[in-house]
Structure 1
Protein backbone atom coordinates (compact mmCIF):
# COMPACT_ATOMS: atom_id res chain seq x y z
CA UNK A 1 0.00 0.00 0.00
CA UNK A 2 2.89 2.37 0.58
CA UNK A 3 4.57 4.03 -2.35
CA UNK A 4 8.19 3.50 -3.30
CA UNK A 5 9.27 6.84 -1.83
CA UNK A 6 10.37 6.68 1.77
CA UNK A 7 8.11 8.71 4.00
CA UNK A 8 9.54 10.20 7.17
CA UNK A 9 7.52 10.41 10.39
CA UNK A 10 7.18 14.09 11.29
CA UNK A 11 4.75 16.24 13.24
CA UNK A 12 1.82 17.40 11.19
CA UNK A 13 0.29 20.78 10.44
CA UNK A 14 -3.02 18.99 11.11
CA UNK A 15 -2.63 19.56 14.82
CA UNK A 16 -4.71 19.89 17.92
CA UNK A 17 -1.88 20.17 20.42
CA UNK A 18 1.58 19.40 19.04
CA UNK A 19 0.86 17.54 15.79
CA UNK A 20 2.06 14.13 17.00
CA UNK A 21 -1.15 12.19 16.32
CA UNK A 22 -1.71 14.05 13.05
CA UNK A 23 1.81 13.13 11.95
CA UNK A 24 1.33 9.47 12.88
CA UNK A 25 -2.00 9.45 11.00
CA UNK A 26 -0.35 10.91 7.89
CA UNK A 27 2.46 8.37 8.11
CA UNK A 28 0.02 5.45 8.39
CA UNK A 29 -2.48 6.96 5.92
CA UNK A 30 -5.22 6.91 8.57
CA UNK A 31 -7.87 9.42 9.50
CA UNK A 32 -6.41 11.71 12.19
CA UNK A 33 -9.74 12.04 14.01
CA UNK A 34 -10.08 8.26 14.36
CA UNK A 35 -6.53 8.02 15.69
CA UNK A 36 -7.22 10.80 18.21
CA UNK A 37 -10.36 9.05 19.47
CA UNK A 38 -8.44 5.77 19.83
CA UNK A 39 -5.68 7.63 21.69
CA UNK A 40 -8.16 9.15 24.17
CA UNK A 41 -9.80 5.76 24.78
CA UNK A 42 -6.45 4.05 25.32
CA UNK A 43 -5.29 6.87 27.61
CA UNK A 44 -8.40 6.51 29.75
CA UNK A 45 -8.04 2.72 29.89
CA UNK A 46 -4.37 2.96 30.94
CA UNK A 47 -5.08 5.60 33.60
CA UNK A 48 -3.22 8.40 31.83
CA UNK A 49 -0.16 6.52 30.59
CA UNK A 50 -0.91 7.86 27.09
CA UNK A 51 -0.09 11.39 28.26
CA UNK A 52 3.45 10.32 29.12
CA UNK A 53 3.79 8.52 25.77
CA UNK A 54 2.52 11.63 23.97
CA UNK A 55 5.03 13.88 25.74
CA UNK A 56 7.88 11.52 24.83
CA UNK A 57 6.76 11.38 21.19
CA UNK A 58 6.40 15.17 21.16
CA UNK A 59 10.09 15.52 22.00
CA UNK A 60 11.32 12.72 19.73
CA UNK A 61 9.37 13.27 16.50
CA UNK A 62 10.85 16.14 14.44
CA UNK A 63 8.76 18.93 12.95
CA UNK A 64 8.35 19.37 9.21
CA UNK A 65 10.60 22.05 7.75
CA UNK A 66 7.54 24.09 6.77
CA UNK A 67 5.72 23.36 10.03
CA UNK A 68 4.27 26.54 11.49
CA UNK A 69 3.40 25.61 15.02
CA UNK A 70 3.13 28.06 17.90
CA UNK A 71 6.83 28.11 18.79
CA UNK A 72 7.92 28.27 15.15
CA UNK A 73 5.62 31.26 14.60
CA UNK A 74 7.02 32.99 17.68
CA UNK A 75 10.59 32.45 16.45
CA UNK A 76 9.71 33.78 13.00
CA UNK A 77 7.95 36.86 14.35
CA UNK A 78 10.88 37.61 16.67
CA UNK A 79 13.27 37.31 13.72
CA UNK A 80 11.17 39.69 11.62
CA UNK A 81 11.26 42.37 14.30
CA UNK A 82 15.06 42.44 14.36
CA UNK A 83 15.55 42.60 10.59
CA UNK A 84 15.71 46.04 8.95
CA UNK A 85 12.95 46.83 6.50
CA UNK A 86 14.11 46.59 2.90
CA UNK A 87 10.86 47.60 1.22
CA UNK A 88 7.57 49.08 2.26
CA UNK A 89 6.86 51.99 4.54
CA UNK A 90 9.60 54.27 5.74
CA UNK A 91 10.14 54.79 9.44
CA UNK A 92 10.36 58.28 10.86
CA UNK A 93 12.72 58.77 13.80
CA UNK A 94 13.26 61.61 16.28
CA UNK A 95 9.84 63.21 15.86
CA UNK A 96 8.67 65.67 18.51
CA UNK A 97 4.93 66.24 18.70
CA UNK A 98 3.24 69.00 20.70
CA UNK A 99 -0.39 69.65 21.46
CA UNK A 100 -1.96 72.75 20.00
CA UNK A 101 -1.99 75.33 22.88
CA UNK A 102 -5.12 77.08 21.47
CA UNK A 103 -7.53 74.37 22.67
Structure 2
Protein backbone atom coordinates (compact mmCIF):
# COMPACT_ATOMS: atom_id res chain seq x y z
CA UNK A 1 0.00 0.00 0.00
CA UNK A 2 1.42 3.34 -1.05
CA UNK A 3 0.88 6.48 0.95
CA UNK A 4 0.84 9.85 -0.72
CA UNK A 5 3.24 11.83 1.43
CA UNK A 6 5.10 14.79 0.10
CA UNK A 7 8.41 14.02 1.77
CA UNK A 8 11.41 15.93 0.53
CA UNK A 9 15.02 15.02 1.03
CA UNK A 10 16.46 17.88 3.09
CA UNK A 11 19.25 18.31 5.59
CA UNK A 12 18.29 17.49 9.14
CA UNK A 13 18.57 19.55 12.29
CA UNK A 14 19.82 16.30 13.87
CA UNK A 15 23.31 16.97 12.60
CA UNK A 16 26.86 16.15 13.48
CA UNK A 17 28.58 17.91 10.57
CA UNK A 18 26.09 19.24 8.04
CA UNK A 19 22.93 17.17 8.57
CA UNK A 20 23.20 15.16 5.35
CA UNK A 21 23.07 11.70 6.92
CA UNK A 22 20.42 12.82 9.41
CA UNK A 23 18.28 14.07 6.52
CA UNK A 24 18.69 10.82 4.59
CA UNK A 25 17.81 8.86 7.73
CA UNK A 26 14.66 10.95 8.26
CA UNK A 27 13.67 10.45 4.62
CA UNK A 28 14.16 6.68 4.81
CA UNK A 29 12.75 6.55 8.38
CA UNK A 30 15.92 4.91 9.70
CA UNK A 31 17.95 5.52 12.81
CA UNK A 32 20.52 8.22 12.00
CA UNK A 33 23.26 6.57 14.06
CA UNK A 34 22.92 3.29 12.15
CA UNK A 35 23.22 5.18 8.87
CA UNK A 36 26.29 7.03 10.16
CA UNK A 37 28.01 3.74 11.07
CA UNK A 38 27.17 2.31 7.64
CA UNK A 39 28.55 5.47 6.02
CA UNK A 40 31.84 5.19 7.90
CA UNK A 41 32.16 1.54 6.87
CA UNK A 42 31.38 2.44 3.25
CA UNK A 43 33.95 5.24 3.33
CA UNK A 44 36.64 2.90 4.68
CA UNK A 45 35.76 0.19 2.15
CA UNK A 46 35.91 2.62 -0.80
CA UNK A 47 39.15 4.32 0.30
CA UNK A 48 37.52 7.68 1.03
CA UNK A 49 34.95 7.96 -1.77
CA UNK A 50 32.28 8.52 0.89
CA UNK A 51 33.92 11.82 1.85
CA UNK A 52 33.59 13.13 -1.70
CA UNK A 53 30.00 11.93 -1.84
CA UNK A 54 29.24 13.64 1.49
CA UNK A 55 30.78 16.93 0.32
CA UNK A 56 28.73 16.78 -2.87
CA UNK A 57 25.49 16.09 -0.99
CA UNK A 58 26.35 18.80 1.54
CA UNK A 59 26.42 21.41 -1.20
CA UNK A 60 23.37 20.30 -3.21
CA UNK A 61 20.90 19.16 -0.53
CA UNK A 62 18.62 21.99 0.62
CA UNK A 63 18.15 22.77 4.29
CA UNK A 64 14.80 22.76 5.97
CA UNK A 65 13.12 26.12 5.38
CA UNK A 66 12.67 27.01 9.04
CA UNK A 67 16.37 26.59 9.89
CA UNK A 68 18.53 27.22 6.89
CA UNK A 69 22.13 26.13 7.39
CA UNK A 70 25.34 27.83 6.34
CA UNK A 71 25.40 26.61 2.73
CA UNK A 72 21.73 27.36 2.18
CA UNK A 73 22.26 30.91 3.48
CA UNK A 74 25.21 31.32 1.12
CA UNK A 75 23.13 29.99 -1.79
CA UNK A 76 20.34 32.48 -0.96
CA UNK A 77 22.81 35.35 -0.62
CA UNK A 78 24.34 34.52 -4.00
CA UNK A 79 20.97 34.48 -5.74
CA UNK A 80 19.78 37.72 -4.11
CA UNK A 81 17.04 36.09 -2.04
CA UNK A 82 16.42 37.31 1.48
CA UNK A 83 15.60 35.17 4.50
CA UNK A 84 13.92 38.11 6.24
CA UNK A 85 10.21 38.60 5.61
CA UNK A 86 10.43 42.38 5.84
CA UNK A 87 13.54 44.35 5.13
CA UNK A 88 14.11 47.79 6.57
CA UNK A 89 15.10 50.37 3.98
CA UNK A 90 18.66 51.56 4.20
CA UNK A 91 19.55 55.24 4.13
CA UNK A 92 18.94 58.36 6.18
CA UNK A 93 16.60 58.32 9.11
CA UNK A 94 13.89 60.94 9.33
CA UNK A 95 12.93 62.47 12.64
CA UNK A 96 9.37 63.77 13.01
CA UNK A 97 7.64 65.99 15.58
CA UNK A 98 10.77 67.67 16.87
CA UNK A 99 10.74 71.20 18.23
CA UNK A 100 14.13 72.90 18.07
CA UNK A 101 15.12 75.87 20.25
CA UNK A 102 18.26 77.95 20.42
CA UNK A 103 20.20 78.01 23.68
CA UNK A 104 19.98 81.38 25.40
CA UNK A 105 23.38 83.07 25.68
CA UNK A 106 24.28 84.72 28.96
TM range (shorter): 0.5 to 0.7
RMSD of aligned Cα (Å): 2.3
Aligned residues: 75
Task: Tell me the equivalent position of 1:37.
Answer: 37
Unaligned runs of 5+ in 1: 84-103
Alignment of 1:1-103 (within 5 A): 3-67=3-67, 69=69, 71=70
Normalised TM-score (structure 2): 0.62
Give me the whole-angstrom Cα distance separating, in 2, the residues matched to 1:59 and 1:68: 13
Greater CA radius of gyration, 1 or 2? 2
Residues 3, 41 of structure 1: alpha-carbon distance in 2 compared, 3 angstrom cutoff: same
Query: Which sections of structure 2, spanning at least 5 residues, go unmatched?
Result: 75-83, 89-106
* TM-score, L = length of structure 1: 0.64
Shift of 1:2: 6.3
- Tell me which protein shows more helix as a share of its residues: 1
Q: Per chain length, whose mean CA-contact separation is higher, i.e. which structure has more relative contact order (CA < 8 Å, sep 6+)? A: 1
